[in-house]
Amino acid sequence: MALSSKTKAVLLGPLSKNNPIIVQVLGICSALAVTSKLEPSLVMAIAVTIVTAFANMIISLLRKSIPNRIRIIVQLVVVASLVTIVSEVLKAYSYDVNKQLSVFVGLIVTNCILMGRLEAFALGNGPWPSFLDGIGNGLGYGWILVVVGFFRELLGSGTLMNFQVIPDALYEMGYENNGLMVLAPMALLLVGCIIWIHRANNKELQEKTN
Amino acid sequence: MKALRKYLDKIKPNFEEGGKLHWLHSTFDAFETFLFVPNSTSRSGVHIHDARDSKRTMTIVIVALIPALLMGMYSVGLHHYMALGLEASILTKFIYGFLAVLPQIVVSYVVGLGIEFIIAQIRKEEVAEGFLVTGILIPMIVPVDTPLWMIAVATAFAVIFAKEVFGGTGYNIFNVALVTRAFLFFSYPSKMSGDQVWVRTADTFGMGKGTVIDGFSGATPLGQLATTGAGSFGEFTFQGITGQPLSISDMFFGFIPGSIGEVSTFAILLGAALLIMTGVGSWKTMLSVFLGGAVAVVLVNLFAQNAIMEMPVQYHFLLGGFAFGAIFMATDPVTSARTEKGKWIYGFLIGLLAITIRVFNPGYPEGMMLAILFMNAFAPLIDFYVIDGNIKRRLKRAAPSK
């Protein structure tokens, strides 16, 4: 399936140049809270992608009939129902991860990225581009979460997806897991590092210094 | 000296613009200015030249740290032989301590300076002197048994994330040495607290081999107090590592387990005298830290309910890192308040917070590190309001009320 250049920009822009976390700095709260392990980060990434994509599509379908003054309420109803579905599915099929994510599944409702996309994109574009925009932004959010989750679990717990990857021999030589990695401040620093590398590679994102 | 100068002059063109080793310009420059006084000065504007440039300031701080470092090394050896139940001469004890601490100093300098040189090279800047002091402070504020790789990781972390990302020496918000310690403290708590890390029981380069005697306990005095079951301070006695009671003079001269720099309050005060005499460290900050601490202790004593709340003020000052932090950490000219009135407020709040954390949080027997880091964040705010108040006051004076 060949995509037109505009569709491509909608889908792929949020992965790098227009990334919700590392360029727009939205959705930081959940990014810090759920990334102490790789598994919840992955699940959270998938959940946000699905909710954003479908919420975008539904709002886009309804956009001509939503009265402007109550649009936030309508958006919340749509998002809340989607989040409830996701939350119930998680409870049914992976209860442990659902417990680790705790309130953050429910808080997808107030995720800045989600509300931002609905306001900025879905209300002014057709359902198919909106759906792609939702997927793109969800994935843009998701890959940051997965990278942060990967490093935090590897260095903080010595495991990946709960399998031990750091060999016992290394522990016997005196290696220890880094306790700070499990705490939220390190997630902020890791996100900062990703922003650092990203901006170093994209000159157009750098502000002009005097 | 002449020959060295000649040699430097001979290889200098290689490092200048167009030379084949130009990319090493910063490194060459650092060594040249380290060996010889640079003969280039500012060419524009009016400048007053003073003998107290940052290189001299750093050197004086290092000299001021030496007494505490030497006493700390002796204390390491003393406790090692005490724990093994062996007799040894004072010199043997000192050499043991020296050899135990030396690798830490080397690792801290190599890693920290290495990163500084690389970054200066990339940014095409001069290598700044800031790490000279930080590099010696780091081994002095960690337990003697901290593994070397941990010091390396923590130093790298602190130099990059607490200093270089803010723009290098002079621009950092937080004290770099304390960020190193905070990183270690939160990352590897088992190596940074408890009663196993303060006394080195292993041999150093084959020196001082032996087995630990029965009845050995490596807890620091503050650690003992935090975990004691004694209901009041009167029932409690501080014990040395073999169970002998500790007197006030033991604590003053440094015959207690603890980090290398912090054990001997006597040596720290010698350093303080030098800092104050040369005007390098601010006596206002130092005094106000102790004042703040004293006020906090008096308040806590009034409402005391357990042993640590009843501990009188002199013990608080002699134990743990209180004195070391007040003299060498709080006075860091980059991260402390810069206005004279601001220094009083800044120091006072450090003392207050340090005692509060010490007394009320059993998880952290030592509060000085967190108190100073916390106040580092507030130093610019304090300065802002002091200057703001000053401007308002003078405006009032200039324009009398109608």
Please report residues of B whose CB lies closer than 8 A to that of A179: 186-189
Q: Which of B165, B183, B188 sits opposite A176 (nearest CB)?
A: B188
Q: What is the average pLDDT across A155-173?
A: 87
Model pLDDT, residue B401: 63
Q: What is the pLDDT of residue B38?
A: 64
Interface contact B187-A179, CB threshold 8 A: yes
pLDDT, residue A210, reads: 58
Could you tell me if residue B267 is inside a domain?
A: no
Residue ending a domain, choose from B170, B192, B214? B192
Are the beta carbons of B159 and B199 closer than 8 angstroms? no
Which residues in chain A are contacts of B186 at CB distance < 8 A? Answer: 179-180, 183
For residue B344, the enclosing domain spans 281-390
| Measured CA angle at A29 (ends A24, A34), to 5 deg | 120
State the best of B187, B193, B373 to mutate against chain A, taking most chain A CBs within 10 Å. Answer: B187
* Pairwise CA distance, residues B288 & A195, whole Å: 41
Query: Nearest residue on chain A to B191, judged by CA atoms?
Result: A176
What are the C-alpha distances in Å from B61 to residues A197, B136, B137, B346? 36, 10, 10, 21
Q: Would you call A176 and B183 a contact, using CB atoms and an 8 Å cutoff? A: no
Asked whether the predicted pLDDT for residue A14 surpasses 80, the reply is yes
Domain identity same for B173 and B285: no
User: Cβ contact (<8 Å) for A183 and B149?
Assistant: no
Residues of B in contact with A178 (CB under 8 A): 187-188
Q: Residue A179 is nearest to which of B147, B165, B186, comparing CB atoms?
A: B186
Nearest beta carbon to residue B161 from set A175, A183, A189: A189
Chain A interface includes B191 (CB < 8 A)? yes
Rounded to the nearest 10 degrees, the angle between the axes of helix A38-62 and helix A71-93 is 140
% pLDDT > 70, chain A: 98
pLDDT for A47 equals 92
What letters, b where the CB count within 10 A reaches 16 and e where it falls short, cover B197-227? bbbbbeebeeebeeeeeeebbbbbbbbbbbe
Interface of B with A in 143-162 (CB under 8 A): 147, 149-150, 161
The reply to whether A182 falls in a domain is yes
Residue B161, in any domain of the structure: yes
* Predicted local distance difference test score (pLDDT) of residue B41: 62
* Higher local confidence (pLDDT), B5 or A45: A45
Q: Which of A127, A183, A128 is nearest to A155 (CA)?
A: A183
Distance separating alpha carbons of residues B114 and B131, to the nearest angstrom: 10
Q: Residue B8 domain-assigned? A: no
Question: How much is the pLDDT for B39?
Answer: 62
Q: Is B161's CB within 8 Å of A174's CB? A: no
Q: Do B150 and A181 touch (CB under 8 A)?
A: no
Q: If chain B, 402 residues long, is cut into consecutive pieces of 10 residues, what is the mean pLDDT of each piece?
A: 78 73 72 68 69 78 93 90 85 90 94 90 78 91 90 94 87 92 90 79 75 76 77 79 83 87 92 92 93 93 83 88 92 90 95 91 80 94 95 88 60
Q: What's the number of domains chain A is made of?
A: 1
- Alpha helices by DSSP H, listed for chain A, are 5-12, 28-33, 38-62, 71-93, 95-101, 103-106, 112-120, 127-157, 168-172, 179-182, 184-201
At residue A163, the 3 state secondary structure works out as strand
The verdict on residue A166 lying in a domain is: yes
Same domain, B60 and B188: yes
Of the residues B176, B192, B208, the one at which a domain ends: B192
CB < 8 Å to B183, chain A:
180
Single-letter amino acid, residue A30:
S
Provide the number of structural domains found in chain B: 2
Give the number of beta-carbon pairs within 8 Å between A and B: 20
Q: For chain B, report the end-to-end CA distance as a whole number of angstroms.
A: 70
d(CA A166, CA A177): 10
Q: Which domain holds residue A183?
A: 16-194
Task: Evaluate whether residue B118 is within a structural domain.
Answer: yes
A58: left (phi over 0), alpha (psi -120 to 50) or beta: alpha
Closest CA to B8 of B25, B39, B31, B41: B31
- Indicate the pTM of the whole model: 0.87
Interface test with B, best of A180, A182, A196 (most B CBs within 10 A): A180
Distance from CA of B368 to the nearest CA of A (A): 20
pLDDT at A195: 92
Whether B191 sits inside 8 A of A180 (CB atoms) is no
* Cα–Cα distance measured from residue B383 to residue B341, given in angstroms and rounded to the nearest whole number: 8
Query: What per-residue confidence (pLDDT) applies to B54?
Result: 75
Residue B256 within any structural domain of the chain: no
Identify the band that residue A21 occupies on the pLDDT scale cut at 50, 70 and 90: confident
Among B252, B257, B263, CA closest to B220: B257
Asked whether residue B181 falls in the same domain as residue B289, the answer is no
Give a yes or no: residue B211 inside a domain: no
Has residue B100 been placed in a domain? yes
B60 shares a domain with B162: yes
Collapsing DSSP to helix, strand or coil, A159 comes out as strand
Other CB atoms within 10 Å distance of the CB of residue A168: 10
**Residue A126 falls inside a structural domain:** yes
Q: What is the pLDDT of residue A56?
A: 93
Distance separating alpha carbons of residues B24 and B40, to the nearest angstrom: 20
Is residue B121 a part of any domain in this protein?
yes
Which residue of B149, B161, B189 is in closest CB contact with A179? B189
* pLDDT recorded at residue B295: 95
Q: Is A127 part of a structural domain of the chain?
A: yes
Instruction: Convert the pLDDT of each residue in A139-163 to its tens digit.
Output: 999 999 999 999 999 999 888 888 8
> What would the mean pLDDT of A3-19 be, rounded to a whole number?
81
Flag whether pLDDT at A106 surpasses 60: yes
What is the predicted ipTM? 0.85
Q: Which residues on chain B are in Cβ contact (under 8 Å) with A190?
A: none
A137 confidence band (pLDDT: 50, 70, 90): very high
Chain B residues with CB-CB distance to A189 below 8 A? 161
Q: Do A178 and B191 touch (CB under 8 A)?
A: no
Q: Which of B192, B208, B231 is a domain's end point?
A: B192
List residues in chain A touching B: CB distance below 8 A: 174-176, 178-181, 183, 189, 196
